[in-house]
Structure 1
């Protein structure tokens, strides 16, 4: 994961985010196999065993079991292009696809857990 630090810092600089490295001991919430595009991600504050990142593709669901915990290494094995976004600060969101589309923005509403 250390090899991704420079690309993470670059994305943070590009989108005016403070660089917030992940705790590798905590889990990412993943909702799907990420084979449908676009891929979406958002970062809440860390809580419990979760580092705050939630990643999904396809239709959103409010179901309590929509997200499943996965370790960061497995997420990066599945979708290596996601790794460069994982240094973004709490409150940031991204949407990407395989054709080069990239949208990153700050969403004040997700900076607090409610």
Structure 2
């Protein structure tokens, strides 16, 4: 993820801060080197894009990002760990949401955006 390649001439961190302000959420920026779990089929262009953030220990995977509206695939290899610096090649549509804190979710197809806090996600931190 290039820090300088955000939309509208903004950096990704600036866009993430703005996204958090719109949602009324605290800004919890992603750490350099953070891993996100991305669905293998995210590059196929299926919409909408879904994301949720768990609380994690240092070095753990907090964000899970997947496409579509149906039930989530249960295959153990459905998600692959991707370093946040490479997420722009997997799913650039998710980048503005990565500053949302643990417990938050998003759903977007580009023009449509929904963000909300999910207490169940917040209460289930993962290692």
- TM-score after normalising by structure 1: 0.87
Aligned to 1:75: 87
> 1:48 Cα deviation (Å)?
5.8
5+ residue gaps, structure 2, are 4-10
> 1:32 Cα deviation (Å)?
2.8
Aligned to 1:6: 14
5+ residue gaps, structure 1, are none
Aligned to 1:25: 33
Aligned to 1:107: 118
> 1:75 Cα deviation (Å)?
1.3
Aligned equivalents of 2:115, 2:16: Cα separation in 1: 13
Determine if the alignment matches structure 1 residue 94 to structure 2 residue 106: yes
Give every structure 1 segment of 4 or more consecutive aligned residues whose post-TM-superposition deviation is greater than 6 Å: none
Aligned to 2:6: none
Aligned equivalents of 2:97, 2:16: Cα separation in 1: 6
- TM-score after normalising by structure 2: 0.79
Distance 1:87 1:95, change over 3 A: same
RMSD over aligned CA atoms reads 1.8
